[in-house]
């Protein structure tokens, strides 16, 4: 049950609490803000991991990713093999005037070629300058922070658990084979022949 004037009293209480606190002014741009590691600033490209699968461009809801490529023939790795073709990246650009920073391109990339960078100071006087080509995206890559450390209490990844299980199984199999080989060698070793002890003085008299 609310009493008449209770809303006004609550508002005045909030005002009084705020008046007693010291105001803090962010001295930007002289002092850079301390941004959280998962800040969505700009997107960096790690070109070596890109396979030109076009998945990021197809899934982008704003169609702001532009990719051009061509195919090259790779000679066989061994004599008698057959030649293979691979995609070579010619252009990778992102139009940040259209980008809405949804992060879908980073999430769907199967080869970890796109990363979030916390850098946000890339305003331009010309809107055409907001289209960053692959060289510029590569420069943003060096501002990407390191991934946070894993939580010690977190559940172990399934891939790591499966790899450890396979390694333990292989180690147990190798130990069993080594023990079986050692037991076989001991079974095949000849037994020492019994030798007559030398007669001691006074024995047999």
The DSSP code sequence of 117-136 is E-------SSGGGGEE-HHH
Reference 140, options 58, 40, 68; nearest CA is: 40
Beta strand spans in 13-163 (E): 42-45, 65-74, 84-95, 114-117, 131-132
Q: How many whole angstroms separate alpha carbon 160 and alpha carbon 35?
A: 31
Q: Among 120-124, 152-156, 196-200, whose mean pLDDT is lowest?
A: 196-200
pLDDT for 205 equals 46
Which SS3 state, helix, strand or coil, does residue 157 take?
Answer: coil
* Alpha-carbon gap, residue 136 to 182, rounded angstroms: 63
Q: What is the mean pLDDT of the chain?
A: 86
Higher confidence at residue 80 or residue 102?
A: 102
Which residue has better confidence, 34 or 137?
137
**Diameter over CA atoms, the chain:** 131
Residue whose C-alpha is closest to residue 67's, from 159, 157, 134, 162 = 134
pLDDT at 10 over 80: yes
- Nearest CA to 106 out of 150, 51, 45, 165 is that of 45
Joined together, the tokens standing for residue 72 give: 């090259």
Whether the model clears a pTM of 0.75, i.e. scores above it, the answer is no
Q: Higher confidence at residue 40 or residue 147?
A: 40
Phi, psi (degrees; rounded to nearest 5) at 65: -110, 125
Q: Give pLDDT, residue 68.
A: 95
Highest mean pLDDT of the ranges 29-43, 88-102, 169-183 = 88-102
Q: Give per-residue pLDDT as tens, 160-191.
A: 788 888 889 999 999 999 998 888 888 887 76
Q: What is the pLDDT of residues 190-201, one digit of tens each?
A: 766 555 555 555
């Amino acid at each position: 049950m609310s009493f008449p004037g209770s809303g006004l009293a609550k508002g005045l209480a909030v005002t009084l609490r705020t008046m007693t606190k010291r105001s803090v002014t962010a001295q930007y741009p002289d002092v850079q803000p301390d941004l959280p590691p998962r800040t969505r600033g700009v997107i960096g490209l790690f070109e070596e991991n890109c396979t030109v699968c076009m998945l990021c461009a197809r899934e982008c809801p704003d169609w702001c990713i532009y990719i051009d490529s061509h195919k090259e023939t790779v000679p066989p790795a061994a004599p008698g093999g057959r030649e293979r073709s691979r995609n070579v990246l010619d252009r990778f650009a992102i139009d940040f005037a259209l980008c809405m920073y949804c992060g879908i391109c980073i999430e769907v990339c199967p080869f970890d070629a796109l990363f979030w960078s916390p850098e946000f100071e890339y305003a331009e006087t010309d809107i055409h300058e907001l289209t960053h080509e692959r060289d510029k995206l590569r420069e943003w890559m060096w501002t990407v922070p390191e991934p946070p450390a894993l939580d010690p209490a977190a559940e172990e990844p399934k891939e790591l658990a499966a790899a450890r299980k396979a390694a333990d199984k292989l180690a147990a199999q190798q130990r069993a084979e080594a023990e079986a080989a050692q037991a076989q060698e001991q079974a095949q070793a000849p037994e020492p022949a019994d030798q007559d002890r030398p007669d001691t003085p006074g024995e047999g008299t």
